[in-house]
Amino acid sequence: MDFIIGGAYQGKRDLAFRRYGLTADDIYTCTEAEGIRFGARCIDRIEEFTLWCVRNEKDAVAMFRENREAWRGAVLICQDIFCGVVPLGADMRAWREMTGRLAAYLAAEADSVTRVFCGLEERLK
Tell me the pLDDT tens digit for each residue of 5-27: 999 999 999 999 999 999 999 99
Distance of CA 43 to the CA centre of its chain: 7
Cβ partners under 8 Å of residue 102, min gap 6: 46, 50, 60, 61, 64, 78
Average pLDDT of the residues of the chain:
93
Total Cβ atoms within 10 A of residue 13: 20
Q: Strand pairing of 112-117 and 120-123?
A: antiparallel
For the chain, the domains span: 2-123
Decide if pLDDT at 84 tops 80.
Answer: no
pLDDT of res. 123: 96
CATH 3.40.50.300 fits 2-123, yes or no: yes
| 23-82 per-position pLDDT tens digit | 999 999 998 888 899 999 999 999 999 999 999 999 999 999 999 999 999 999 999 987
Whether this prediction's pTM lies above 0.85 is answered by: yes
pLDDT of res. 89: 86
